[in-house]
A and B are shown apart, each in its own frame.
Chain A
Amino acid sequence: MPAERVLPTAEARDLIALTSEIADKELAPRAAQYEADARFPREVFRLLGEAGLLSLPYPEEFGGSAQPYEVYLQVLEEIAARWASIAIGVSVHSMSSYPLAAFGSRAQQEQLLPDMLSGRLLGAYCLSEPHAGSDPGAMITQAIDRGGEYVLSGTKAWVTHGGQADFYTVFARTSESRTEGISCFLVDGAMPGLSFGAPEHKMGLTGSPTTIVNFDDVLVGSDRLTGSVGRGFAIAMSALDSGRLGVAACAVGLAQAALDYAVSYAKERHQFGKPIIDHQGLGFLLADMAAGVESARATMLEAARRRDRGLPFSRQASIAKLVATDAAMRVTTDAVQVLGGYGYTRDYPVERYMREAKVMQIFEGTNQIQRMVIGRHLARD
């Protein structure tokens, strides 16, 4: 039984219907094969862009649809329920566009945003470095001011869409200060000096390339500095607050897909003369899965509504990311259990869901880091 949503407007209902139609026809049929082949479907992002699904939370004047996060996140969920790699890609693309949309100058926004939001250009977000993951304040990638332009050098790690993206939102050090010495740049993917490692051999999300990005004296005009010098760390954290809601949505969508698959299987599969769903032990397992999915969705939507009303939501975003990704891990693992031996094979999608859920507890701040953020808010607020 697919998610039953309470949506705020008729417009939102149309949007969910459009997303489901495209996701059913264009994403679901390809997901398993592309994941098995580790193939990145760049054309799918063009299609989603043309349908207007890459720019939902952004202002109409730049080609967006000014949709609230409450709606945008449920669209992401619908995409994730068919193909997690694409939903993560949409979330990362959206997060990569965010610094310019929220902190860029009017001129930068007019020049660059429409192509970013339409999906003509695909984005990537370069914060992590090989030795600086949970602690991005330890980054060493440098941007040296040469008057009129910056020279970027260093190595970024774990970049989603590395080598495939058209623009890279890059955080680099402009002075020594741990958090006040970082600035944000928008770098064209075709710049000389930019090179990419081979895609990481990942456990899941294999349809989404993740690579090292090397900057060897890459020249970036000062007009590509986003926000003021030294503001980068604050921009990165602000982008992550919204990005974490995106990851929470991907996790809820994935968990919903696992639940739906497990329930329909449990109605068909008979043991001891009746459908396995009618054995209380298994029915309770499924009930816990449903409770996990629905409570995760409620937590995520609560954080989204705070954001939509202009209330502080950083703590709630971390809670949503923590709750939703932990729920997705548990629900997808239990979905494998529901299918028994069949669930453990690659002939069924649930083992893939389980592999895909795992990374959601790791990126955009591990779930330990989410607890750290939540704890700091509790101590401070």
Chain B
Amino acid sequence: MNIVVTVKQVPDTWAEKKLDPSDMTTDRATVDNVLNEMDEYGVEEALLLKEAHGGEVTAVTMGPDKAVEAVRKALQMGADKGVHLCDASLHGSDALQTASALAKVIAPLNPDVVIVSSEASDARGGVVGALLAEYLGLPQLTLARKVTADPGGGTVTIERQTDNGYATVLGKLPVVVGVIEKINEPRYPSFKGIMAAKKKPLVTMTAADAGIDPGSAGPSGAYSEVDEAQPRPPKAAGQVVKDEGDGGAKLAAFLADQKLV
């Protein structure tokens, strides 16, 4: 199977995230950046599919120079090839532009399955997967907590997580599959994997290479705009309930007040 997995480099989950005040885009320069944790599940699932059915895994990212580290991590885990779409004109792209650009890179790879995770921990829009499927003109199976492929029959079946259980959904190849954290336990790279990754093909593409119209790229061509941003207000001090024999009643009243019971 020809499998593509999308990966993204994000500011370290535990780092304080900031916007660059000049253009309201995520500040990636002053923090440690790592592979989006959710994408590790995507990479793992792609590798499991390859191990079960043969084929090849290509990790694709769009981002600044440093973002190539996310692809490298996927290669270290076991992906076969990497593609890094990197162009200053793409800086400040919104979700629609990002998905459209990724589609331009992914479509020529003719994938059977495109694996995306449900969201990246920086912007947390959670829509790029769906938009990508739309731009690729492929069906999308979302919230997969289990994926079974039948390349011979040309189908993929997933267990789709629902609020109170799961639904079994079948899709025809080629297909975009969105996975959730429950799906697997991502592997660590091995030292040998790290060594091997250095020799794997990793292509860097510009927007022009990918056939992206320069007029549509960047903030000027964006469909959405960030007007203003506020840091989360500091946590207010908790409310102390003093027990004067009526502690239980007071707590119950508090919970009822908050509509928690």
Contact = CB atoms under 8 A, between A and B. Distances in A.
A169 B36 CA distance: 44
A21 B188 CA distance: 9
Contacts of B189: 18, 51
A11 interface: yes
B81 to A, nearest CB: 20
A116 B44 CA distance: 27
A50 interface: yes
A184 to B, nearest CB: 29
A151 interface: no
A47 B188 contact: yes
A357 interface: no
Contacts of B190: 50-52
B195 interface: yes
B194 interface: yes
A65 interface: yes
A51 B192 CA distance: 8
A248 interface: no
Nearest to B189: A18
Interface in A142-158: none
A47 B195 CA distance: 18
Interface string A7-26: 00001001100100110000
A15 B191 contact: yes
A18 B194 contact: yes
Interface size class of B (residues with CB under 8 A): under 10
A339 interface: no
Interface residues of A, number: 13
A65 B192 CA distance: 8
A11 B196 CA distance: 11
Interface string B39-80: 000000000000000000000000000000000000000000
A96 B189 CA distance: 26
Interface string A41-78: 00000010011110010000000010000000000000
A320 to B, nearest CB: 25
Interface string B181-211: 0000000111110110000000000000000
The secondary-structure label for the interface of chain A is: helix
B64 to A, nearest CB: 21
A110 B191 CA distance: 22
Contacts of B192: 52, 65
B188 A22 contact: yes
Contacts of B195: 11, 14
Question: In this complex, which of B188, B189, B192, B194 has the most chain A Cβ atoms within 10 angstroms of its Cβ?
Answer: B188
Contacts of A18: 188-189, 191, 194
A71 B121 CA distance: 34
Contacts of A50: 188, 190
A65 B188 contact: no
Nearest to B193: A52
B220 to A, nearest CB: 39
A11 B193 CA distance: 12
A324 to B, nearest CB: 25
A53 B193 CA distance: 12
Contacts of A22: 188
A47 B194 CA distance: 16
Contacts of B191: 14-15, 18, 51-53, 56, 65
A74 B137 CA distance: 51
A266 to B, nearest CB: 22
Contacts of A53: 191
Contacts of B194: 11, 14-15, 18
Nearest to A53: B191
B66 to A, nearest CB: 15
Contacts of A21: 188
A53 to B, nearest CB: 7
A21 B76 CA distance: 13
Contacts of A52: 190-192
A56 B190 CA distance: 12
B186 to A, nearest CB: 10
B13 to A, nearest CB: 12
A50 B195 CA distance: 14
Interface in B159-198: 188-192, 194-195
A261 B252 CA distance: 42
Contacts of A47: 188
Nearest to A14: B194
Interface of A: 11, 14-15, 18, 21-22, 47, 50-53, 56, 65
Closest 3 CB pairs of A and B: A52-B191, A52-B190, A14-B194
7 contacts: A18-B194, A22-B188, A47-B188, A50-B190, A51-B188, A51-B191, A65-B192
Given A14-B194, A15-B191, A65-B191, 12 more contacts: A11-B194, A11-B195, A14-B191, A15-B194, A18-B189, A21-B188, A50-B188, A50-B190, A51-B188, A51-B191, A53-B191, A65-B192
